[in-house]
Structure 1
Amino acid sequence: MRIVHLTDLHVQHLPTLAELRPKRILGTANLYLAGRRSHFDPQSQRAAVEAARALAPDLTIITGDLTAQGLDSEFQSVRSLLEPLAEAAPLYMIPGNHDIYVDEAEHGARMRSFLGDWMSPGSPGIAHFGDVSVLYIETCRPTWLSNGSTDTSHLAEAQALLSDARSFTFLCLHYPLVDRNGQPYGPSRRANLEAPAVEAWIHGTTRIQAVLHGHEHHGYRASLPTEYGAIPVLNPGASGYAFLPDQDRTAHFNVYTVEANNLIQIERYRWNGQTFTPEPGGAYATGR
């Protein structure tokens, strides 16, 4: 089974006047005045989806931050962007902190109103695709900082869901647990504040074979020790990055091959400004 992993597309639009809550005023200034808008490119976003579709995966997983500010127009554009991919194979996604950007009456309701047929109805959630299961635990909340949080009661609920898991299970989070050196991810203003509890829970379960995440735009591979051996922690890097070689920035996505309860291959594709090609030297060989 081949699984494409996209993350952090960051489709961005200007908010309407009605959508300009205080946090979005700051976010819009960051995008359009401070220059963050130029970090992401509709061309690379479209190319990532087209390249993923051309690989004919059995499943596509997206680990959050599909939008810049969780706007209706952004979610509508994301849906249009991803529909060709979803028509070719199952698609599963989770929210990122930019998708849950401001307070809502129901956590994540705005995103689900546009994209809910590709999501779990809540956290924790589990979905099954052939011999692969995908478990989702929420790590995002709307704050003025970029940090996240997990309701630790969800961990016991997630353990119960794992009783129905297939032979191979990916755990999908938006926030990293560890950095590229395997140390606790930080600083705290950008991290999941309950990451140690999530990591401790993973350490004691036999039912998770790999962790997929996003949030950190420069991708990396790490591992987590568990009582039953180390498991990979995989972040392809932002799939919607512009091609900015002078800043060592470009878009990436991963492809995983799972056979007989094993992750037998990790491929990483890199945007060169024209097309996505396999990363020279193999996945993560470039260090970014």
Structure 2
Amino acid sequence: MFTLAHISDVHLGPLPDISFGELLSKRITGYVNWQRNRRKHLFGNTLELLVEDLYARVPDHLAITGDLVNLAASIEIDAAAAWLRSLGKPHDISVVPGNHDAYVPNAIDEAVFKWNSWMSGDEMGEGDRRFPFLRIRGKIALIGLSTATATPPFMASGYFGSNQARRFANILKQTGDAGLFRVVMIHHPPIRGATANYKRMMGIRRFGAAVHIGGAELVLHGHTHLNTVNWLRGPTDAPIPVVGIASASQGQGGRKPPAAYNLFHIDGEKGSWSIKRERYQLTGDGSAFLLDETSALINPAFA
């Protein structure tokens, strides 16, 4: 059995001192939003409690689906790299970027460069940072995609382009033919209607076509700060679970659900996979994480 942990939307805080020059951009809107809203709920020791509780359950791998930072300033990107190092070996942690990691033009290049050890494939060299990346851990294929792109103020959309889609389809076929359990990591939910238009993923049809033809066993995303399970059509219309998770830093009292993480216990082999999901959520008093929900995500076509 392989146990995969999933967290998202870390939004490391508190917000560090940002120079006046750095604020002369879209960052000014994010800075105001942080001061008025996010800092009230994305602060404190919630993230530290989550990480401690998660690692006490000894997962085999940790998937992080984006938004490690808030405004993508260099000081934040460096802090996120230090935080990732504190979690453990890059071999055991896979990361994809989110829209906040690409908050302004060129920020995503710096983030991908400094976080390369956690978001590069097994066979990629130091200079090859294309998406998608592929990591194989036992029977598990971790496929990392990027929808991170700089957007105008008051926009938080993502983009999944045709070049990435073609490479993604090839990887799905390659890993499917090898009999691997394919976990797709992406920040924006590849589900129509999952978010408002200004936050949606452009390229949903491309993504859907790739998994409909090539298949996948599990899709993980963030962005919405919600605990959700949706389904996409795979080959022969077999449903593929698409699972979102609350922000890893969200305290109690906000408009979004409190911090949570998922554990997926994956067993079996091609044609007879089983997935047991456990969701652990921050308690009402904000002092601990307890099991909140358990479900079996079993593809009916394989049952």
The alignment's TM-score, normalised by the length of structure 1, stands at: 0.88
Describe the superposition over 1:113-132 as per-residue Cα deviations: whole angstroms up to 9, x where unpaired: 33211112221211111111
Describe the superposition over 1:192-233 as per-residue Cα deviations: whole angstroms up to 9, x where unpaired: 121122112211113x11110000012211111223310100
Distance change >3 Å, CA 101–CA 172, structure 1 → 2: same
Matches within 5 A, 1:13-162: 13-14=15-16, 15-32=18-35, 34-87=36-89, 90-104=92-106, 108-120=108-120, 121-144=129-152, 145-162=155-172
Distance change >3 Å, CA 201–CA 148, structure 1 → 2: same
Alpha-carbon distance between aligned partners in 1 of 2:79 and 2:148, rounded to the nearest angstrom? 22
Kindly indicate whether residue 181 of structure 2 is the aligned counterpart of residue 173 of structure 1.
no
Cα deviation, residue 185, structure 1: 2.6
Describe the superposition over 1:72-91 as per-residue Cα deviations: whole angstroms up to 9, x where unpaired: 22233323333342249700
Decide whether the 8 Å contact of 1:49 with 1:82 is kept in 2: no
Alpha-carbon distance between aligned partners in 1 of 2:53 and 2:234, rounded to the nearest angstrom? 34
Q: Partner residue of 1:3?
A: 4
Alpha-carbon distance between aligned partners in 1 of 2:217 and 2:100, rounded to the nearest angstrom? 27
Structure 1 gaps, min length 5: none
Structure 2 gaps, min length 5: 121-128, 297-303
Corresponding residue SS for 1:160: helix
What root-mean-square deviation, in Å, do the aligned CA atoms of Structure 1 and Structure 2 show?
2.1
Alpha-carbon distance between aligned partners in 1 of 2:279 and 2:267, rounded to the nearest angstrom? 18
Alpha-carbon distance between aligned partners in 2 of 1:193 and 1:108, rounded to the nearest angstrom? 18
Matches within 5 A, 1:143-222: 143-144=151-152, 145-165=155-175, 167-178=180-191, 183-206=192-215, 208-222=216-230
Describe the superposition over 1:218-258 as per-residue Cα deviations: whole angstroms up to 9, x where unpaired: 221111122331010001211111122x7463101100011
Cα deviation, residue 57, structure 1: 0.8
Alpha-carbon distance between aligned partners in 1 of 2:90 and 2:68, rounded to the nearest angstrom? 19
Decide whether the 8 Å contact of 2:172 with 2:214 is kept in 1: no
Cα deviation, residue 163, structure 1: 4.6
Distance change >3 Å, CA 185–CA 56, structure 1 → 2: same
Cα deviation, residue 169, structure 1: 0.7
Alpha-carbon distance between aligned partners in 2 of 1:276 and 1:113, rounded to the nearest angstrom? 33
Decide whether the 8 Å contact of 1:148 with 1:193 is kept in 2: yes
Kindly indicate whether residue 266 of structure 2 is the aligned counterpart of residue 265 of structure 1.
no
Kindly indicate whether residue 278 of structure 2 is the aligned counterpart of residue 241 of structure 1.
no
Alpha-carbon distance between aligned partners in 2 of 1:231 and 1:162, rounded to the nearest angstrom? 13
The alignment's TM-score, normalised by the length of structure 2, stands at: 0.84
AA aligned to 1:40 is L
Alpha-carbon distance between aligned partners in 1 of 2:146 and 2:81, rounded to the nearest angstrom? 21
Identity of aligned pairs, percent?
Answer: 24
Distance change >3 Å, CA 282–CA 162, structure 1 → 2: closer
Q: How many residues align?
A: 274
Decide whether the 8 Å contact of 1:256 with 1:263 is kept in 2: no
AA aligned to 1:131 is K
Q: Partner residue of 1:275?
A: 288
Alpha-carbon distance between aligned partners in 2 of 1:184 and 1:35, rounded to the nearest angstrom? 25
